[in-house]
């Protein structure tokens, strides 16, 4: 495996673990409340700005994954879409790059 692929895989792992280390305690305290999350994301202008930045980034990443993956008939990189929306862009983007580069890189 190339150093680049290893880097993508490490960043995807970090991009899953680090955000979840903050989200998991919040969920334990508040329950799995989508409304509660949205309220928390809108506590101030900085949080709201970051929320919209990530939403737009997730949508763009999804479009890119679909546009790049479907014509190639390589479905494995599609796993980046649920990773993006269930974990975050910090996991979905490096996961997509890892899966896209494939073992021949």
Helices and strands in the chain, H and E counts: 5, 0
- Percent of the chain clearing pLDDT 70 (strictly above): 98
Measured CA to CA, the distance from residue 28 to residue 67 in angstroms comes to 37
Residue 105 above 50 pLDDT? no
Q: Is the pLDDT of residue 58 over 50?
A: yes
Q: What is the pTM of this model?
A: 0.89
Percent of the chain past pLDDT 90, that is, above it, reads 80
Is a pLDDT exceeding 50 seen at residue 63? Answer: yes
What confidence category does residue 86 fall into, taking pLDDT thresholds of 50, 70 and 90? very high
Which of 58-77 are b and which e, b meaning 16 or more Cβ less than 10 Å from the residue's Cβ? Answer: beebbeebeeebeeeeeeeb
């Amino acid at each position: 495996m190339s150093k680049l692929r290893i880097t993508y895989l490490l960043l995807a792992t970090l991009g899953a673990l680090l955000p979840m280390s903050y989200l998991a305690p919040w969920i334990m305290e508040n329950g799995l409340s989508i409304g509660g999350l949205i309220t928390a994301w809108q506590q101030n202008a900085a949080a709201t700005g970051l929320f919209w930045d990530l939403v737009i980034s997730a949508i763009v990443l999804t479009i890119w994954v679909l546009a790049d993956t479907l014509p190639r008939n390589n479905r494995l990189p599609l796993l980046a879409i649920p990773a993006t929306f269930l974990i975050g862009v910090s996991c979905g983007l490096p996961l997509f790059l890892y899966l896209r580069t494939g073992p021949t890189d």
